[in-house]
Structures are given as C-alpha cells and as structure tokens.
C-alpha cells in the first residue's frame, strides 16, 4: 500500500497522518504541493492538505485511486493555527466537507460535550445571513460572486441581520449588521442562511434551522423546519467520525477508520467501541477492495521528498 501525502512544508497534519499510516504498515511518501504540476504517481491512496492548493491533486488522482482531503474540522475544531495541536481536522473522501455517508456510533460526538438544543433562537426573529471569506476553497466564489449571493439572500428573506465573517469578508452597506458573538446572533434568529459556512453546524446545535447552498456538509438537514434532535444527533455522530485530532492521526486510530470504514463504505457497528479503542490493525482481509486493501503492519518510516 503506497500512500502519497501532498501538503506544504512541515504541515503538522500531514506529518501526523504520515506517522499513522506508517504505523499501520503503509509506505508513505510526502510531496510538496507547491511543486505539483499535474503528474500522477502510482499511489494506492492520496491525501491532500487544504483544497486551495491541493485541488489539482484531487482532480488528477480522482478515478485513479481514492483521494482524501484533510482540512480544519467541524466541531471542537482547528479554526486557526494555534489550535492545530488540540483541535479536530476533517478527513473527507473525495472532496472537502464530505462527512461519512454511513451511520456511526454516537461515542465520538458525546465526548465533545455539546448539547443539542431542542428549539433555540427566536421563532419571530430575523433571518441571520452569515458571510464567508471570498476565495475560500469551501465555496470557490470570489468577492463579486459572494456579494451577489448574499444580496440575493437579503432580498429573499425580508427581516434580516447580516453577520460578516469575523476574519474579513464582504460588507453590505445599508443592511443591518451584527459583529458581536455568534451566540448573541443566534439567540435572536428564526433562521440562519449561509452558503456552506461551519456556522450552519453551530446553528443546528443551537436549535436554529439553516438554509444553505448546494454541497454544504449539512445540506441534508437544511430547511426552514428544524430537524428533530434524533435526526441531528444521528448526523453529528457521523460528523464526529469525519474529524480527528493530531494525536489520533499519529496513533493510527484515524487510519484504521479510513481503511476499515471510509474506503469500504461500511460503517462501524452501532454500539461498538470507537476506532480509538481498536487494538488490531486492519489487514487485507478487512473487506477493503483490492485496489485499496489495508496494509499489514510493518512499522515503516515515512519517506520525505527533498
């Protein structure tokens, strides 16, 4: 099993993933994504860190082998570099913000300590329009396209409050704007409208319905009617298995889940212990398709390209 990891120099998640893949027996090769020019090597599995630089990697390898995209996560997440060691990183198959498609146990979500609110916000309140950063790989829109989308949302929903992205984004002159805490903004909202911001997850946890653009991770729960707590709990259980810490990457727990479940499309048994607690490494008998069969443990060190 040859695993190619494309990232920037000294990317902490790339190094952690490499350690874990090596631990479970894969032959790991690191590549600097800045020098990628469209070549396709004979890898059985490819990982690219961040889609802005790694989109060409995803496009070139798709169809040739499975491609994982790793980026900042969803819940208790990495949201700036200072949180990289303790927060969660998403690991998505075939693109950005793709959570596992199969049912997952609730254990990983439960340990996050996040309480799902049965109904929050204000049913008679405003529609909270949430902006994003132009050029973000998650949506791919430049400033003009993103502003057009936001203005269309403002026109459609009447009583609105606009919340720009806290790290910069689009100003909407003449539209009532809220720059305070997200909790305060959600408390007065009847509805959240965003293209695919992680704010959608915050809203669903806080009990506020969400409308979104196509391709948002939570698209299946979008609508003006808030899904039940059970539907949201089932969804967030899957979300929690789509994100991992650096420690879980280094230990091989993340990689075991990838080989045994993410690549096979077969979820863990509900009620079973999480992959963190699994003692055995995956083997070629684990049910993975031959082209992506899980490697036998060899403890081989990852190779780093010059």
Q: Do 184 and 206 fall into the same domain?
A: yes
Q: Do 34 and 6 fall into the same domain?
A: yes
- Whether the predicted pLDDT of 277 surpasses 60: no
Provide the pLDDT for residue 192.
Answer: 97
Mean pLDDT within 9-26: 95
Q: How confident is the model at residue 53 (pLDDT cuts 50, 70, 90)?
A: confident
296 or 235, higher pLDDT = 235
Provide the pLDDT for residue 84.
Answer: 65
Is 118 a domain residue?
Answer: no
Is 17 a domain residue?
Answer: yes
Give the dihedral of Cα atoms 229, 233, 236, 240; nearest 10 deg: 150
Q: How confident is the model at residue 81 (pLDDT cuts 50, 70, 90)?
A: low
Is 234 a domain residue?
Answer: no
Is 27 a domain residue?
Answer: yes
User: Which region among 108-117, 126-135, 220-229 has the lowest average model confidence (pLDDT)?
Assistant: 126-135
Chain centroid to Cα 162, Å, comes to: 25
- Whether the predicted pLDDT of 43 surpasses 70: yes
- Whether the predicted pLDDT of 182 surpasses 50: yes
Q: Of 183, 199, 225, which residue constitutes the final position of a domain?
A: 225
Mean pLDDT within 127-148: 78
Q: Do 218 and 294 fall into the same domain?
A: no
Q: Do 145 and 208 fall into the same domain?
A: yes
Q: Do 139 and 221 fall into the same domain?
A: yes
Provide the pLDDT for residue 135.
Answer: 61
Mean pLDDT within 11-28: 97
Mean pLDDT within 147-175: 87
Please tell me the total count of domains within the chain.
2
Q: Do 136 and 190 fall into the same domain?
A: yes
Q: What is the pTM of this model?
A: 0.85
CATH code: domain of residue 203:
3.40.50
Q: Do 145 and 290 fall into the same domain?
A: no
User: Which region among 167-171, 232-236, 283-287 has the lowest average model confidence (pLDDT)?
Assistant: 283-287
Provide the pLDDT for residue 165.
Answer: 82
Q: Do 247 and 220 fall into the same domain?
A: no
Task: Calculate the average pLDDT of the chain.
Answer: 86
Residues of the chain above pLDDT 70, percent: 83
Is 198 a domain residue?
Answer: yes
Mean pLDDT within 160-173: 84
Q: Do 212 and 243 fall into the same domain?
A: no
Q: Do 185 and 270 fall into the same domain?
A: no
Q: Do 244 and 286 fall into the same domain?
A: yes
Is 14 a domain residue?
Answer: yes
Range of the domain at 162: 126-225
Q: Of 199, 225, 251, which residue constitutes the final position of a domain?
A: 225
Q: How confident is the model at residue 273 (pLDDT cuts 50, 70, 90)?
A: low
Q: Do 7 and 86 fall into the same domain?
A: yes
Q: Of 225, 257, 286, which residue constitutes the final position of a domain?
A: 225
- Whether the predicted pLDDT of 19 surpasses 60: yes
Is 218 a domain residue?
Answer: yes
Is 61 a domain residue?
Answer: yes
């Amino acid at each position: 099993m040859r695993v190619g990891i494309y990232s920037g120099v000294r990317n902490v998640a790339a190094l952690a993933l490499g350690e874990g893949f090596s631990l479970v027996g894969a032959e790991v090769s690191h590549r600097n994504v800045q020098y990628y020019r469209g070549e396709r090597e004979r890898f059985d599995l490819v990982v690219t860190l961040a889609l802005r630089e790694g989109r060409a990697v995803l496009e070139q390898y798709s169809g040739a082998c499975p491609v994982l995209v790793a980026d900042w996560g969803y819940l208790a997440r990495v949201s700036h570099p200072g949180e990289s060691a303790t927060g969660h990183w998403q690991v998505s198959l075939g693109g950005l913000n793709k959570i596992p498609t199969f049912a997952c146990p609730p254990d990983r979500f439960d340990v996050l300590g996040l309480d799902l609110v049965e109904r929050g916000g204000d049913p008679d309140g405003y529609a909270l329009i949430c902006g994003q950063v132009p050029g973000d790989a998650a949506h791919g829109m430049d400033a003009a396209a993103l502003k057009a989308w936001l203005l269309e949302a403002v026109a459609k929903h009447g009583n609105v409050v606009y919340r720009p992205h806290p790290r910069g984004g689009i100003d909407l002159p003449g539209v009532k704007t809220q720059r305070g805490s997200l909790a305060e903004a959600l408390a007065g909202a009847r509805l959240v409208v965003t293209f695919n911001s992680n704010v959608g997850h915050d809203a669903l946890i806080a009990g506020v319905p969400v409308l979104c653009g196509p391709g948002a991770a939570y698209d299946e729960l979008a609508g003006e009617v808030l899904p039940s707590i059970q539907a949201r709990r089932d969804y967030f259980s899957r979300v929690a298995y789509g994100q991992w810490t650096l420690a879980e990457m280094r230990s091989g727990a993340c990689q075991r889940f990838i080989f045994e479940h993410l690549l096979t499309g077969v979820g863990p048994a509900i009620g079973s212990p999480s992959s963190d607690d699994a003692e055995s490494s995956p083997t070629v008998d684990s049910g993975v398709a031959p082209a992506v069969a899980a490697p036998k443990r060899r403890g081989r060190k990852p190779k780093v390209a010059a």
